[in-house]
Chain A
Amino acid sequence: MARMKFLCDADRCIDCNACVTACKNENEVPWGINRRRVVTINDGKPGERSVSMACMHCTDAPCQAVCPVNAFYTTADGVVLHSKDICIGCGYCFYACPFGAPQYPRVGNFGSRGKMDKCTYCSGGPEPDGSMAQYEKYGANRLAEGKLPLCAEMCSTKSLLAGDGEIIAEIYKERVQKRGYGSGAWGWKTAYRETITS
């Protein structure tokens, strides 16, 4: 089994936000929710870098650990998914998530956040694969169709990589060796407790 991961090569990201748009469209993400976003660090200064960030599908995921109602589960591919039928919208996963991935449909006064929504690695939720119920709650299930998440698939500079962790790490390592520099696999140490050293 593959261990699915995301890797954003910040030296290639051009802050075009196409991944954000692709994600919103493919998954029919509700208004106000962004499962993925691009953030520019040191914006306007020499050496600025843009990073596309979403749920990293952590190893031993903190959201899964703190959830008071056990709404999360990790698939055999290492993808962290959740059930919107079980979620009570308490907001704890947002406090524990190192990447700010969990999103809520409403502001959340008096605990009225609504069911949590986050990146599913384009692989839906607990409902049967390809079912309408699954699509309505979680969006597309591309993984079940043998496709990778759309954000990475359509990244124009191939900055955002998705796929088996070992393979994308190898691709990144090669890139860094060839061009001689790399600002790091953002979030990998926090999510997977490993870094890619070339």
Chain B
Amino acid sequence: MARLFLKLSNVVAALVLVTFVLFAAPSLAQPSGSVNPRASSVNEEQLLQQFNVIRGRGSIPDVRSYTIVQPAGRDWRHFHEVTLRWIGAVAILGVLVLLVIFYLARGMVRVESGRSGRKIVRFNAVERFVHWLTAACFVVLALSGLNITFGRPLLLPLMSPEAFTTWSEWAKYAHNFLSFPFTLGVILIFFMWLAGNIPNRADIEWFRRGGGIVGRDHPPANRFNGGQKVVYWIVVLGGTVAATSGYVLIFPFYGTDIQTMQSAAMIHSVIAMLFIAAMLGHIYIGTIGMEGAFEAMAEGTVDFNWAKEHHSLWLAEEAARTSASPSPPHPKVAPGD
């Protein structure tokens, strides 16, 4: 009996409590000064609209982990998957198609007056070494870089995933470590050929007359003609940007955050695609595009008549220098003379 009474009293007490809570709670919540847990509480939507990224304070040493939402990653993904592939495909295939059309229309630019048999030194051993150091690194860097963007759709279907991973991993290491000799090459090229690559009046004339490539003209040119100067500056400036952004990527998160890393990857890849496209043009003219051009970088000498047709001003300078060489040093011929 006592037990039942105890139970009943419990039930009554509970009922009283429930009624009190039910009726009193709303009135308790209303008065000013009461605690509203929502007041000034952070809200995801608001934070994203304000900063486009959500950051806070964490308790582990990895400060990168303090960023918990960065929707920009999705934009970066779109860039990498769509934008970059379009840029790369249009630039590289575009240049290839243009070169094929040009080759079919124009063919190899011949030495018009035929080979004289007399040779003249164009690039010494050091110059050739620096060129081929940079060029060899560039080819490996370009192929291993293209593998990151185009390997998955183009190469992976042709081999097993494991084989593709092995190749890609080696390509990645080659890309990272050959960046150093490549950078050295670009720096050496900059200093070595700077004097010959300052644009001057002869370049305007050279471009106006189609550079001897478009048409059959042979406009006068110094040691480097307008087109070569363009290549030089593409290598120097493009190489600098590609190397700088590349080193940001190679040393991840040293004073950089996720936004900087994303931008570095974007700049690096776009510049690299355009760089590759431009170098295709350079390779074309240096090989099948022009008779007698490749030997300048292979053996270091060119035919006298080739030099006369393509670099008449340079040949005149060289001739003046060699004829004056037994006598005391000849004053340097001013460029453009």
Q: Which residues of A contact B (CB under 8 A)?
A: 10-11, 15, 17, 20, 32, 34, 37-43, 45-51, 53, 62, 65-71, 85-92, 94-100, 107-111, 113, 179-181, 183-187, 189-190, 195
Q: Which residues of B contact A91 (CB under 8 A)?
A: 249, 252
Do residues B64 and A100 form an inter-chain contact, with CB atoms below 8 A?
Answer: yes
Q: How far is it, in angstroms, between the C-alpha of A96 and the C-alpha of B265 when the chains are bound? A: 11
Given A69-B156, A184-B43, A90 contacting B56 (CB threshold 8 A): no
Q: Which residues of B contact A94 (CB under 8 A)?
A: 258, 261
Q: Which residues of B contact A85 (CB under 8 A)?
A: 162, 165
Do residues A42 and B80 form an inter-chain contact, with CB atoms below 8 A?
Answer: no
Given A49-B41, A70-B152, A98 contacting B73 (CB threshold 8 A): yes
Task: Say yes or no for B40: interface residue by CB 8 A criterion.
Answer: yes
Do residues B73 and A97 form an inter-chain contact, with CB atoms below 8 A?
Answer: yes
Do residues B43 and A110 form an inter-chain contact, with CB atoms below 8 A?
Answer: no
Q: Which residues of A contact B37 (CB under 8 A)?
A: 11, 179, 181
Given A40-B56, A95-B265, A110-B177, A62 contacting B74 (CB threshold 8 A): yes
Q: How far is it, in angstroms, between the C-alpha of A34 and the C-alpha of B63 when the chains are bound? A: 12
Do residues A98 and B43 form an inter-chain contact, with CB atoms below 8 A?
Answer: no
Given A37-B65, A108-B252, A184-B45, A47 contacting B165 (CB threshold 8 A): no
Given A69-B168, A109-B251, A38 contacting B58 (CB threshold 8 A): yes
Mostly, the A contact residues are: loop
Given A39-B58, A46-B39, A69-B156, A99 contacting B69 (CB threshold 8 A): yes
Q: How far is it, in angstroms, between the C-alpha of A96 and the C-alpha of B70 when the chains are bound? A: 9
CB distance from B16 to the nearest CB of A (A): 23
CB distance from A102 to the nearest CB of B (A): 10
CB distance from B181 to the nearest CB of A (A): 14
Q: How far is it, in angstroms, between the C-alpha of A195 and the C-alpha of B249 when the chains are bound? A: 34
Do residues B250 and A186 form an inter-chain contact, with CB atoms below 8 A?
Answer: no
Q: Which residues of A contact B81 (CB under 8 A)?
A: 65-66
Give the residue among A20, A49, A71, A183 with the most B Cβ atoms within 10 A: A183
Q: Which residues of B contact A189 (CB under 8 A)?
A: 44-45, 48
Q: Which residues of A contact B55 (CB under 8 A)?
A: 39, 41
Do residues B168 and A39 form an inter-chain contact, with CB atoms below 8 A?
Answer: no
Q: Which residues of A contact B45 (CB under 8 A)?
A: 184, 189, 195
Do residues B42 and A100 form an inter-chain contact, with CB atoms below 8 A?
Answer: no
Do residues A37 and B60 form an inter-chain contact, with CB atoms below 8 A?
Answer: yes
Do residues B162 and A39 form an inter-chain contact, with CB atoms below 8 A?
Answer: no
A–B complex contacts, Cβ < 8 Å, 25 sampled: A11-B37, A37-B60, A37-B65, A40-B56, A42-B42, A46-B40, A51-B56, A53-B69, A68-B168, A69-B152, A69-B164, A70-B161, A92-B265, A95-B73, A99-B70, A100-B65, A100-B67, A100-B68, A108-B252, A111-B175, A180-B38, A181-B41, A187-B68, A189-B48, A190-B69
